[in-house]
Amino acid sequence: MDRLKKAAVLTRFVSALRERGSWGGETHIQKAAYFLQELLGVPLGFRFVLYWYGPFSFDLRDELTGLRGDELLTLNPQYPYGSSYKSTERASYVQSLFEKTLDEYRERIEFVADQLGAQGVKSLERLATGYYVTKGLPKAAVEDRALRLTKIKPHVSHEDAVAAIQMVDKMITKSKPLLH
Amino acid sequence: MAKKIHEIRDPIHVFVRLSHDERNVLDSRPFQRLRHIHQLALTYLVYPGATHRRFEHSLGVMELAGRVYDVVTSNATDDVRNEFPDVADDRKREYWRCVLRMAALCHDIGHLPFSHAAEKELLPEGWTHETLTAVLIRSDEMLPIWHDMRIDSEDVVKLALGRKELPDADFTPWETILAEIIVGDAFGVDRMDYLLRDSHHAGVAYGKFDQYRLIDTLRILPRAPSDADDEGEVGFALGVEEGGLQSAEALMLARYFMYSQVYFHPIRRIYDLHLKDFLIEWLGDDGYPTDTERHLMITDTEVTHGMREAEQHAEFPGHLHAYRINRREHFKQIYSRNPSDAEINLEAGEAIFDALCTEFGAEHFRHDRYRQKGGAPDFPVRMRDDRIASSLLVSDILAKVPVVDIDCVFADQSIVTKAERWLTQHRDEAIKPKKEEGASG
CA distance B325 to B278: 9
Residue contact B226–A121, C-beta within 8 A: yes
Closest-CA residue of A relative to B439 is A100
What does pLDDT average to over chain B?
Answer: 94
Q: What is the pLDDT of residue B116?
A: 72
CB-based contact (8 Å) between A118 and chain B?
no
* % of chain B with per-residue pLDDT over 70: 97
Cα–Cα distance, B358 to B355 (Å, whole number):
5
Cross-chain residue pair B393–A5, CB shorter than 8 Å: no
Smallest CA–CA distance, residue A96 to chain B, in Å, is 8
Whether the predicted pLDDT of B439 surpasses 60 = no
Using one digit for the tens of pLDDT, what is the confidence trace for B397-429? 999 999 999 999 999 999 999 999 999 999 999
Pairwise CB contact (< 8 Å): A75 & B225? no
Residue pair B376/B392 in contact (Cβ under 8 Å)? The answer is yes
Q: What percent of chain B has pLDDT over 90?
A: 90
Q: Is A97 on the interface with B (CB under 8 A)?
A: yes
List, for residues B176-202, the tens digit of each pLDDT value. Answer: 999 999 999 999 999 999 999 999 999
Q: How many Cβ atoms sit within 10 Å of the Cβ of residue A140?
A: 15
The number of CA neighbours under 13 Å toward the Cβ of B4 is 0
Tell me what pLDDT residue B151 has. 97
Asked if pLDDT for residue B430 goes beyond 80, the answer is yes
pLDDT at B232 over 90: no
Predicted pLDDT at B117: 67
- What is the torsion angle, in degrees rounded to the nearest 10, for the CA atoms of residue A141, residue A146, residue A149 and residue A153? -170
Strand partners, A84: A76
Backbone torsion region of residue B386, taken as left when φ is above 0, otherwise alpha when ψ lies between -120 and 50, otherwise beta? left
Q: Beta B332-336 vs B365-371: how paired, if at all? A: unpaired
CA dist B249 → A160, B179, B377, B391, B396 (Å): 40, 22, 9, 10, 9
pLDDT at B31 over 90: yes
- The alpha carbon dihedral of B336, B339, B341, B343 has a sign of positive
Instruction: Mark out chain B residues that contact chain A at CB-CB < 8 A.
Output: 163-164, 167-168, 173, 176, 223-230, 233-235, 342-343, 346-347, 371-376, 378, 390, 392-393, 399, 402-405, 433-441
Answer whether residue B441 shows pLDDT above 50.
Answer: no
Which pLDDT tens digit goes with each residue over B282-320?
999 989 999 999 999 999 999 999 999 999 999 999 999
Q: Which among A7, A26, A123 is the nearest to B229, CB-wise?
A: A123
Least confident of A7-16, B319-328, B371-380: B371-380
In this complex, do B346 and A70 lie within 8 Å of one another by their Cβ atoms?
yes
pLDDT interval class at B1 (50, 70, 90): low
So what's the ipTM on this one? 0.90
Question: What is the DSSP pairing of strand B236-241 with strand B380-382?
Answer: parallel
Residue numbers in B near A27 (CB within 8 A): 226
Please list every residue in chain A whose beta carbon sits closer than 8 Å to the beta carbon of residue B164: 58
Partners of residue B437 in chain A, C-beta under 8 Å: 100
- Summarised one tens digit per residue, pLDDT across range A86-135 is 999 999 999 999 999 999 999 999 999 999 999 999 999 999 999 999 99
Q: What is the 3-state secondary structure (H, E, C) of chain A?
A: CCHHHHHHHHHHHHHHHHHCCCCCCHHHHHHHHHHHHHCCCCCCCCCCEEECCEEECHHHHHHHHHHHHCCCEEEEECCCCCEEEEECHHHHHHHHHCHHHHHHHHHHHHHHHHHHCCCCHHHHHHHHHHHHHHHHCCCCCHHHHHHHHHHHCCCCCHHHHHHHHHHHHHHHHHHHHHCC
- Given a cut of 60, whether residue B440 has pLDDT beyond it is no
What is the reported pLDDT for B168? 87
Can you give the pLDDT at residue A155?
Answer: 87
Residue B383 in contact with residue B224, Cβ under 8 Å? no
Interface with B, mutate which of A26, A81, A103 (most B CBs under 10 A): A81
Q: What three-state secondary structure class fits B112?
A: strand
Interface A-B: count of C-beta contacts within 8 A:
131
**Shortest Cα–Cα distance, B1 to chain A (Å):** 48
Question: What's the rounded Cα separation, in Å, for the pair B158 and B171?
Answer: 8
Annotate B55-71 with b (16+ C-beta within 10 A) or e (fewer).
Answer: bbbbbbbbbbbbbbbeb
Say whether pLDDT at A51 is over 90.
Answer: no
Q: What is the mean pLDDT of residues B9-15?
A: 97
pLDDT digits (tens, 9 = 90+) for B255-264: 999 999 999 9
Q: Cβ contacts (< 8 Å) between A51 and chain B: which residues? A: 163
Q: Element (H or E) spanning B16, and its range? A: strand B14-19
Chain B closest CA to A86's CA: distance in Å? 13
Task: Return d(Cα B417, Cα B239) in angstroms, integer.
Answer: 52
Q: What is the pLDDT of residue B233?
A: 57
pLDDT at res. B234: 61
Q: Are the CB atoms for A88 and A78 separated by under 8 Å?
A: no
Of B224, B343, B435, the CB nearest to A97: B435
H runs (alpha helix) in B259-331: 266-283, 292-297, 300-312, 319-326
Whole-angstrom distance, CA of residue B277 vs CA of residue B275 = 5
Q: In what order do the strands lie in the sheet with B332-336?
A: B332-336, B405-411, B365-371
Smallest CA–CA separation between A173 and chain B, in Å?
Answer: 27
Burial B143-180 (b: 16+ CB within 10 A, else e): eebbeebebebebbbbbbbbbbbbeeeebeebbbbbbb
Candidates A79, A97, A101, A157, partner chain B, best to mutate (most B CBs within 10 A) = A97
Q: Is A121 close to B167, i.e. CB distance below 8 A?
A: no
Q: Is A52 on the interface with B (CB under 8 A)?
A: yes
Q: Residue B115: which H helix or E strand, with range? A: none
Q: Which residue has the higher pLDDT, B13 or A52?
A: B13
pLDDT at B230: 66
Q: How far is B405 from chain A (nearest CA, A)?
A: 6
